[in-house]
Amino acid sequence: MKFARALTRSKVPVPRGRRAAQLPQPDPQVWLQDHRPCSYWEATRRPFPSLLFVGPLVIGYEVSVLLAGGADPGGLRSGADAWMRRGLAAAGLADPWFLPLLLVVILMGWQISRSHDWRFSPPILAGMIAESVIWAIALLGIGRLIDLGFSFLEQGRAPLLALNATAARPNLTAFIGYVGAGVYEETLFRLMLVPTFFATLKLLQMPQMLASSWAVTASALLFALAHHAGSPGEPFTWYVFIFRWMAGVFFAWVFVLRGFGIAVGTHTAYDILVGWIG
């Protein structure tokens, strides 16, 4: 009896081939679904593709400022760029490449903290260029409508406004300014301020949609006011202020819905369309 009980408790070895056959086999369709690159609309909202899209603009702008600026490269820098650099310099961080490095750190930190997928199809970068131009043309149309509205109210035609017109006639200096405004105004007013306002309002228990709307509106208001502050600030007119506030709202919603890269591309493309092409 003891021998019989020992036999019942003993484990009969299973052949290795049969053991492998008992393991569940992955479904190829499920594996392909899990490992395929994400869609264009999803990938373009992620920080890593945005960094690869914006990176050439940043490098081109910084190198152009250093080469074309001569002894005073700061004179070519856009307003938001100069403001952020003054703040960094006050903290002892005056290296000209520290601000671009900070932008990289912010985007990479966002990518890592949200555990976003790093995979995407490189051709989407060409799609981001095309989409940015489409949004810029849409903003151009909105600007024309505002022109018509003010023309009707004032019985005169208001000129179409370039967001960062730095020269009376298109030239290389103006082009550098358009790229700098597109990169660093979006960095300051959208990438930094919109999430900061949104997080603050969420802490105050505001509903998500309402917090998003107020964050967009507040950042756009500061964007419009900033162009009239400091030296040299632009003279205040209601047309310029309302247009820039509206443009700030437009850029902010592009940032929220389509991502940082396309917001930068849209802003840059708009400035070039208005200021360079006319």
| Domain ranges across the chain | 40-277
Q: Is the model more confident about 69 or about 274? A: 274
Q: Say how far apart CA 191 and CA 185 lie, in whole Å.
A: 9
4: left (phi over 0), alpha (psi -120 to 50) or beta: alpha
Computed over every residue of the chain, the mean pLDDT equals 83
232 burial type by CB count under 10 A (0-12 exposed, 13-18 middle, 19+ buried):
exposed
H-only helix segments in the chain: 2-9, 16-22, 28-35, 40-43, 47-68, 79-90, 98-113, 124-154, 172-185, 193-203, 208-226, 238-258, 260-271
What pLDDT score was predicted for residue 138? 96
User: C-alpha angle with apex 83: 82 to 86, nearest 5 degrees?
Assistant: 85
Neighbouring C-beta atoms of residue 108, cutoff 10 Å: 13
Contact partners, residue 120, CB within 8 Å, separation at least 6: 37, 38, 43, 46, 48, 49
Report how far residue 241's alpha carbon sits from residue 236's, in angstroms, rounded to the nearest whole number: 7
The predicted model scores a pTM of 0.81
67-78: pLDDT as tens digits: 887 777 777 888
User: Tokens 């890593």 — which residue?
Assistant: 48
Q: What is the mean pLDDT of residues 134-147?
A: 91
Length of the chain: 278
C-alpha 211, offset from chain centre: 19
